[in-house]
């Protein structure tokens, strides 16, 4: 049975009686796509960074991986914005002091 179609039986006690209730879980509510989306984004981003000199920076593999990383990061952000407890709270990046050190750290990491 797929997680999107899964039904879980839970017992609840109401006034001393035990009743069964059924819950349907959506795929995004189970948290299933969050980790694979994040992993695919990181692999597609870090693989061409590490292999760029060998593959060539303008090769189809390098450019394709970067394009795939951009697409997967968009999917990951959409998934993260829909779940009640995200892995990374995207609202944090709207707070000005948070994203500003990121571009400043990139040149120091290249040394």
Q: Is 56 left (phi over 0), alpha (psi -120 to 50) or beta?
A: left
Q: How far is CA 33 from the centre of its chain?
A: 7
Domain spans in the chain, listed from the N-terminal domain onward: 1-28, 31-89
Q: What is the mean pLDDT of residues 34-49?
A: 93
Structure tokens that stand for 93 in this block: 């990046």
Structure tokens that stand for 95 in this block: 């707070």
Q: How far apart, in whole angstroms, are the C-alpha atoms of residue 77 and residue 15? A: 43
| pLDDT tens, position by position, 7-31 | 444 444 455 555 544 444 444 444 4
Q: Tell me the whole-structure pTM to 2 decimals.
A: 0.58
Q: Is 17 left (phi over 0), alpha (psi -120 to 50) or beta?
A: beta
């Amino acid at each position: 049975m797929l997680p999107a179609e899964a039904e879980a039986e839970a017992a609840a006690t109401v006034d001393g009686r035990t009743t069964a209730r059924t819950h349907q879980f959506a795929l995004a509510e189970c948290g299933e796509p969050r980790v694979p989306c994040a992993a695919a984004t990181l692999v597609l981003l870090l693989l061409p960074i590490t292999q760029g000199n060998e593959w060539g920076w303008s090769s189809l593999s390098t450019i394709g991986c970067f394009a795939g990383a951009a697409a997967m990061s968009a999917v990951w952000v959409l998934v993260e914005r829909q779940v009640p407890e995200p892995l990374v709270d995207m609202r944090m990046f709207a707070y000005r002091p948070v994203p500003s050190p990121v571009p400043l750290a990139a040149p120091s990491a290249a040394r």
